[in-house]
Amino acid sequence: MGWLERADTRDNTPWWVPGVELARPSGGVLVRTCDPFGYESGGPKHLEGGFYDLSALGPHLWQCTARADARYRYTCRCGHRGKEAWLCVGHVQSITARMSGVCPPCAHPPAEIELQAQMHAVRQSARPGMAATELMGLEGKLWLLQEKLDELVERGLVHRCRVRLVEVS
Ligand SMILES: [Zn+2]
Ligand SMILES: [Zn+2]
Ligand SMILES: [Zn+2]
C-alpha cells in the first residue's frame, strides 16, 4: 500500500477567507476543486527535484473542498517553473503569506545532486573495523567533494532564488 492510500485525509479548507466558496458539485455542474497538495506544506521543495517523495508531506493528506478560481504555478527569476495547481482564494493568500520558498532546481542543480550522491556513496563505504589509513582516505575524498560543492556556490551555480506564485492565464 502506497503512502497516498495510507495517509489520512484532513480538511484544510480556509472557509473563513472572504471569497472562498465550497465546491460542492450541484446539479452535475463540474467545478474545479482547490488542490493545494504539495504547495501548502512548505512549497514545491518537498516534491520537486526528486529529493523527496509524497511521504515528505507527513502522515496527513490535507484536502481543500473550496472552489478553485484559477491555476497557479511557481516561477523563479531563472525561469524555472513548478507544476500548475488549481487553488482557491484562501490558499493563494496563505501560501503567498508563508512563502519563503527557495527554488529547488536553483538550489540543487544537476552538478550539485551528482556531488551529493558521490559524498553519500563515500560515507556508505565506511565500514566498522576499517584501517585508520583507509578511513583517512575516505575523509580526504569527502573534503575534495566538499570543495567542489563550495566552488559551485562560489560560481553561483548553486544559489537561493525566491519562488513566486503566479497565475497561469
Ligand atoms: Zn535561480
Ligand atoms: Zn483551498
Ligand atoms: Zn530556479
Cα-to-centroid distance, 156 and ligand 2 (Å): 36
Query: Are residues 41 and 94 located together in one domain of the fold?
Result: yes
Query: Are residues 58 and 119 located together in one domain of the fold?
Result: no
Query: Are residues 74 and 143 located together in one domain of the fold?
Result: no
Q: Give the SS3 label for residue 94.
A: helix
Read off the pTM. Answer: 0.59
* Range with lowest mean pLDDT among 1-10, 17-26, 31-40, 141-150: 1-10
What is the C-alpha to C-alpha distance for residues 114 and 24, in angstroms, rounded to an integer? 46
The domain in which residue 126 lies consists of 107-154
Query: Are residues 115 and 35 located together in one domain of the fold?
Result: no
CA 151 from chain centre, in angstroms, equals 25
N-to-C CA span, the chain: 37
- What is the per-residue pLDDT across 22-73, written as a single tens digit (0 to 9) for each? 776 555 566 788 887 655 544 444 444 333 455 555 555 667 888 888 888 8
Confidence of residue 100 (pLDDT cuts 50, 70, 90): low
Query: Are residues 9 and 58 located together in one domain of the fold?
Result: yes
Query: Are residues 14 and 94 located together in one domain of the fold?
Result: yes
Cα-to-centroid distance, 149 and ligand 2 (Å): 39
